[in-house]
Structure 1
Amino acid sequence: MPRRTDIRLVFQRRLKQARLDQELSQKDLGIKAGLDPFVASTRINRYEKGIHEPDMATVARLAAALKVPAAYLFTEDERLARMILAFEQLSAAEKDQLLKTMEKP
Structure 2
Amino acid sequence: MDASSASGRMNHYEKGRHVPDVDILRKIAEELNVPLNYFFCEDDLSAELACLVSKLDDESKQHLILELKKLKE
* TM-score (ref. length: structure 2): 0.82
**What is the distance in 1 between the residues matched to 2:3 and 2:45?**
35
**What is the distance in 1 between the residues matched to 2:65 and 2:17?**
38
CA RMSD of aligned residues (A): 1.4
Q: Name the structure 2 match of 1:48.
A: 14
Q: Name the structure 2 match of 1:65.
A: 31
**What is the distance in 2 between the residues matched to 1:64 and 1:37?**
16
Tell me: higher relative CO, structure 1 or 2? Use CA pairs within 8 A at least 6 residues apart.
1
Q: Name the structure 2 match of 1:79.
A: 45
Q: Name the structure 1 match of 2:3.
A: 37
- Tell me which amino acid in the other structure corresponds to 1:43: R
**Unpaired runs of 5+ in structure 2?**
none
**Unpaired runs of 5+ in structure 1?**
1-34
Percent identity, please: 35
Q: Tell me how far 1:83 sits from its aligned partner.
A: 0.8
Higher helix share: 2
**What is the distance in 2 between the residues matched to 1:74 and 1:100?**
24
Aligned counterpart for 1:96 among listed residues 62, 69, 73: 62
